[in-house]
Amino acid sequence: MTSFSAKIAETRAKARPVVFVVYPDIVLLDLVGPLQVFSHAPDPQTKTNGYGCAVVSLNGGMVTTNTVVSIPSEPVSQYLDAEIHTLVVVGGDGANTAMHDTHVLDMVNALAERAQRVCSVCSGALVLAAAGLLNGRRAVTHWDDCATLEAGFPEVKVEIDPIYIKDGNVWTSAGITAGIDMALAVVAEDLGRRSALRVARSMVTHMARAGGQSQFSPVLRRQLLDSTGRFEDLHHWVAENLCRDLRVEELAAKMNMSARNFARLYTGQMGLTPAKAVEAIRIEVAQTLLETGEKTVKQIAVQCGFNDEERMRRAFMRTLNVSPTDYRRGFRAD
């Protein structure tokens, strides 16, 4: 195993040491998702990896996760004098115990004092809050833990919807995969958007989820609302037939229902009209094509059933508050 002094030398050479804090019963992806991002983010100046990563716990050794895999860690004592660029506290069911462990909180505070940036993934925000690091700040965590965070720490300005929030030098992220989005945003801030996009592309993940976006994707929202799957086949069919005249009568016929009965049942269950649902699906497909395709905005508008650029522009502005052209400029993985 590489010696601690060698690791510190390597980390300092890379200029941006990232320290992950773990404790028993973490969520494995809370750690390895952001760890993968930071471990492979290219620095355009040095042409090498932009970060040096370490995983630490109170006493070092193997730390359990919520899977069959345990992960190795180094004792925090080896990092109490180290310069830290980014500190990341991961989450998991163990956060409910860690947030009441004074040794863990002392560890986090000691490392935070040496860090330029402090982050949490998922329920790691509970640990940051218990350590007093979120007082007076906006913060988010997994939607299932937001109520706990809000009730236990009234000085924290909890927001339920965003996938991540940056407040000063403190970043918090929502559940599990949102930690990857946050890590990519950190890389973009440090090394530039091109470096973050290269990592996102290598991980086959999207770079389009800005922090203000909802924890719930439109697809997931539909699945949650349509818990019985009654409209699932219809939604797939709409996505594959966007060039059709998708009026309520055609959707109703696809469901073997009258237009009036279909519109009433769909709106009651899904919380929006069939017309709005079709527009939302058209926007989702257009977003993907703008991010990854080579077609012009006009061609995409036609392919997605908007028929002309202006109609698609109005739909984007109404839903995303950004034009298709600006969306492509900001999120295209070039």
Spatial separation of the C-alpha atoms in residues 4 and 286, rounded to whole Å: 49
User: Hey, which residues does 89 pair with through a beta bridge?
Assistant: 21, 120
Spatial separation of the C-alpha atoms in residues 44 and 67, rounded to whole Å: 36
Minimal CA–CA distance to 287: which of 207, 214, 231, 232? Answer: 207
H/E element, 84:
strand 84-89
- Please give the structure tokens belonging to residue 178: 């949102």
List of residues 6+ apart from 287 with CB closer than 8 A:
208, 327, 331
Angle between helices 274-292 and 232-240 (to 10 degrees): 50
CA 41: distance to chain centroid? 17
Spatial separation of the C-alpha atoms in residues 181 and 140, rounded to whole Å: 13
Minimal CA–CA distance to 120: which of 155, 100, 103, 145? Answer: 145
- Please give the structure tokens belonging to residue 320: 């995303």
H/E element, 267:
helix 259-270
Give the count of beta carbons closer than 10 Å to the beta carbon of residue 210.
15
Please state whether beta strands 164-167 and 170-173 pair in parallel, antiparallel, or not at all (unpaired): antiparallel
Active site residue 122: yes
Spatial separation of the C-alpha atoms in residues 252 and 278, rounded to whole Å: 13
Query: Of these residues, 122, 146, 243, 304, which one is catalytic?
Result: 122
Query: How is residue 21 annotated by DSSP?
Result: E
Sign of CA dihedral 327, 328, 330, 332: positive
Cα-based angle 101, 107, 109 (whole degrees, multiple of 5): 105
* Residues marked as catalytic: 122
